[in-house]
Structure 1
Amino acid sequence: MKNQISPVIALEKPRIAIFVSFSGSGGVERMILNLTREFLNLGVRVDMIPVKQESFHLDLLPQEVNVIDLGASHNLSSLPGLVRYLKSERPDAILAAKDRANTTAVLARRLAGISTRLVLRMGTTVSAAMAGTHPIRERIWYLRMRMLYPSADAVVAVSRGVAHDLKKNAGLPPSLLRVIPNPVISPELVTMSEQAPDHPWFQESTVPVLLGVGRLTRQKDFTTLLRSFAFVRRNRPCRLIILGEGRDRGSLQSLARDLGIMEDVAMPGFVENPYAYMRRAALFVLSSLWEGSPNVLTEALALGTPVVSTDCPSGPKEILEHGRFGPLVPMGNPEAMAQAIVKTLDAPLEKSLLKTAVQAYTVKESSKKYLETLLVK
């Protein structure tokens, strides 16, 4: 191995299989890429097993990664191929990410009849994500987790809030859970942030630009962000950029028109380099109804950008230390969010202080903890 990771890691040139559904362009995909790159830096071989091959993320993987094609189109159809892979290749450990991939990985290891160490990653607060769904569907979801997840060797929760949720609602024993901060902060993040954003508003430094980033879905609640921005804009010049794409684009644009703020709201869609926007924004706003550990909030702080966040389950309260590093406001409350935005614009915290909030979220530190969980005697 190139580096000594931990006394508990005793395998020579270990091989880790990562089974994941690259189903979007969000935080999970970026975190898996960050982990993979750092695993390679630390002398670990990586087999990447995507549920399906149709993802631009595969093009971003280092050449040293061995990409396994299961010939599948969804999680269920990937099961036979994953079983065959495990029987023939027998990696030292498997890391599965996202709930459906977790389920498939547990079943595949059982069917393969091998003892390869299996670690599951949970990146969202399940109870909040299931809120509003049919009670029968919710019960089936938790029943599946109670039946299958304890078969794994460990379950990584990305925040203490996610771990508590898994204990309380899925009945997972504390001994199974490991809280590991996401691998967010890297030299590449800083380098990318230094590039010029492709938007004219950042050339006019006198008008502050607020920024939101995420999928345009109910979870991110950009409706509340738009309404709060309308309150702020009544009393001062400012602009809002929302980066991301999703099924709520049409309704959000209609709301912006109805609020009379369309000329000061931009929704350019998904951009490959949101960090250039984050670095230059006057303020980053997280308006989510639920998260696990919001990477975009961590990224903004790492770049020294002031933040305002909802106190949603889970993650923001931990990252911001109960409001020390940025205001926490009730979910779905535009007035409270607007007040916090104004106060933060008027008296932003020092960049150096904001950066100290997320020191535990470096790629190096997080990857080391993942390896300590994956590769044990």
Structure 2
Amino acid sequence: MSGKRIAIAINSLAGGGAEKVVMTLASSLTAMGHEPHLLVLQNICQHEVAPELKVHYCFGAEERNIDGFWRLSNSVKRVKQWIAGLEAEYGKFDLFLSNLHQTNLMMTRVGVAPLYCVVHNAMEEELKRQRKLGPLAWFEMWRAQQALDGQHLIAVSEGLANELRHSKRIKPASVTTIYNPFELDTIRTLAEQRPADMPEGDYIIHVGRFARQKRHDVLFAALKVMQHQVPLVLLCSNRKKALKAVKKLGLEQRVIIPGFQQNPFPWIKNAKLLVLSSDYEGFGNVLLEALALNTPVVSTDCPHGPDEILGDALAHCLVPRRDPQALAAAMDRVLTQGVSLEQLPILDAVGAEHVAQQYLALAK
């Protein structure tokens, strides 16, 4: 196969799972002799971007509400001109991959082809969450999801793919499951770098945005009733907000908050346990990263991803959502008894090159 020029579009390169996914995919495609371009809507970057990656920004970091109702039309025109300029400079793209709602909203209106929208989160759960934030928040999410109607979609887990196939809100042109890519050898190498501020003793760890979806409130409630008095390390981007919540609950002595880490892998590797307490996910990247580093996990059995990652062998490490007692009991059990992390077939399915080949098959 001759080298393909692939545009991978996303809202920004802020600190999140989808952002890591697109950079891993781009790095793998580059290593395979292809030419990926990261088309980033807003010039916001919290990740360390490999120097060989081609990154292009459309809007400045200070430009707000670019997908707002009154601005969307002009923003779409600007994105269309931006992409036309990139293709004039580098040549036509063989494939467009769009990630996250804001970008999907833009790219489906720009009219590029062939276009695949990558869906990273449980759709119905996202709408439920936005409804609690008010009618405007719900409408903006609904509008972004409606943009997927009639589009070719990539789901990052089979559970998510089934939701999309049976959705009553949209009718996709196609739905394909492609797991998120992981450079497993790189993860293991990076895990050998020990930060100076890492705790010396035992600890459990949670990695993820300090957002309602991640249900830190359930995690903190579980922490209070655990038998093991092991500290909890939070790696999250909104440290100030997390600190405020911890102080409100009187957990300052139990919770360590280093904040967002460019390299979370040493923290994960040296933890006695990684916990995921989310209401919903699309895949659950941190579970996979922990298992790759031989770190035991406990997770809510949320839609979608954790059950596929843990499989039958680790199904006992799944607990019901929103149940602090069950979460605490599972963490205590794993800390006491341990778990076997041998023969996990999911690790073979998520290798970056294997995943990249699946994406390349979409470029006709």
Partner residue of 2:254? 264
Partner residue of 2:93? 91
- Partner Cα separation in structure 1 for residue 183 and residue 308 of structure 2: 17
Matched, 1:119 2:113: no
Alignment of 1:193-212 (within 5 A): 193-201=191-199, 203-204=200-201, 208-212=202-206
Partner of 2:287, secondary structure, is helix
CA shift in 2, pair 1:170/1:251, >3 Å: farther
Partner residue of 2:245? 252
Q: Deviation at 1:195? A: 1.4
- Partner Cα separation in structure 1 for residue 46 and residue 244 of structure 2: 28
One-letter amino acid of the counterpart of residue 81, structure 2: R
Alignment of 1:213-224 (within 5 A): 213-224=207-218
Q: Deviation at 1:170? A: 5.3
Question: In 2, are the aligned partners of 1:309 and 1:326 still within 8 Å (CA)?
Answer: no
Partner of 2:30, secondary structure, is helix
Partner of 2:237, secondary structure, is coil
Q: Deviation at 1:237? A: 3.6
Question: In 1, are the aligned partners of 2:228 and 2:332 still within 8 Å (CA)?
Answer: no
CA shift in 2, pair 1:18/1:348, >3 Å: same
Runs of 4+ in 1 over 6 A off after TM superposition: none
- Partner Cα separation in structure 2 for residue 162 and residue 189 of structure 1: 25
Q: Deviations over 1:272-303 (max 9, x none)?
A: 22110111111110001111111111101111
Partner residue of 1:149? 148
- Partner Cα separation in structure 1 for residue 50 and residue 75 of structure 2: 21
Q: Deviations over 1:278-334 (max 9, x none)?
A: 111111100011111111111011111111000111111111125635511111111
One-letter amino acid of the counterpart of residue 100, structure 2: K
- Partner Cα separation in structure 2 for residue 253 and residue 69 of structure 1: 36
Range with greater deviation from structure 2 (299-308 or 261-270) = 261-270
Partner of 1:342, secondary structure, is helix
- Partner Cα separation in structure 2 for residue 346 and residue 317 of structure 1: 22
Matched, 1:365 2:363: no
Partner of 1:351, secondary structure, is coil
- Partner Cα separation in structure 2 for residue 128 and residue 283 of structure 1: 27
Question: In 1, are the aligned partners of 2:6 and 2:93 still within 8 Å (CA)?
Answer: yes
Please point out which of 281, 289, 310 is paired with 1:291: 281
Q: Deviation at 1:61? A: 3.4
Q: Deviations over 1:310-369 (max 9, x none)?
A: 01111111111256355111111111111111111122122334x544321111111111
- Partner Cα separation in structure 2 for residue 130 and residue 279 of structure 1: 34
Q: Deviation at 1:222? A: 1.2
Partner residue of 2:58? 70
Structure 1: gaps (5+ residues): 5-11
Q: Deviation at 1:150? A: 4.1
- Partner Cα separation in structure 1 for residue 340 and residue 262 of structure 2: 28
One-letter amino acid of the counterpart of residue 242, structure 1: L
One-letter amino acid of the counterpart of residue 124, structure 2: S
Question: In 1, are the aligned partners of 2:150 and 2:173 still within 8 Å (CA)?
Answer: no
Question: In 2, are the aligned partners of 1:158 and 1:180 still within 8 Å (CA)?
Answer: yes
Matched, 1:167 2:165: yes
Matched, 1:26 2:16: yes
CA shift in 2, pair 1:71/1:342, >3 Å: closer
Partner of 1:276, secondary structure, is helix
Please point out which of 300, 304, 309 is paired with 1:319: 309
Structure 2: gaps (5+ residues): none
Aligned residues: 346
Question: In 2, are the aligned partners of 1:311 and 1:329 still within 8 Å (CA)?
Answer: yes
Partner of 1:103, secondary structure, is helix
CA shift in 2, pair 1:200/1:367, >3 Å: closer
Q: Deviations over 1:213-248 (max 9, x none)?
A: 11111111111111111211xx33422111113274
- Partner Cα separation in structure 1 for residue 208 and residue 143 of structure 2: 30
Partner residue of 1:9? none
- Partner Cα separation in structure 2 for residue 211 and residue 66 of structure 1: 33
- Partner Cα separation in structure 2 for residue 213 and residue 315 of structure 1: 16
- Partner Cα separation in structure 2 for residue 320 and residue 192 of structure 1: 23
Partner of 2:322, secondary structure, is coil
Partner of 1:196, secondary structure, is coil
- Partner Cα separation in structure 1 for residue 154 and residue 328 of structure 2: 35
- Partner Cα separation in structure 2 for residue 365 and residue 33 of structure 1: 15
One-letter amino acid of the counterpart of residue 367, structure 1: A
Question: In 2, are the aligned partners of 1:325 and 1:357 still within 8 Å (CA)?
Answer: no
| RMSD (Å) for aligned C-alpha atoms | 2.4
Question: In 2, are the aligned partners of 1:225 and 1:287 still within 8 Å (CA)?
Answer: yes
- Partner Cα separation in structure 2 for residue 125 and residue 22 of structure 1: 20
Question: In 2, are the aligned partners of 1:185 and 1:299 still within 8 Å (CA)?
Answer: no
One-letter amino acid of the counterpart of residue 281, structure 1: A
Alignment of 1:270-289 (within 5 A): 270-289=260-279
Matched, 1:240 2:232: yes
Percent of aligned pairs with the same amino acid: 26
Q: Deviation at 1:129? A: 1.4
Q: TM-score, normalised by structure 1?
A: 0.84
CA shift in 2, pair 1:118/1:339, >3 Å: same
One-letter amino acid of the counterpart of residue 121, structure 2: T
Partner residue of 1:38? 28
CA shift in 2, pair 1:184/1:209, >3 Å: same
Q: Deviation at 1:141? A: 4.2
- Partner Cα separation in structure 2 for residue 192 and residue 101 of structure 1: 30
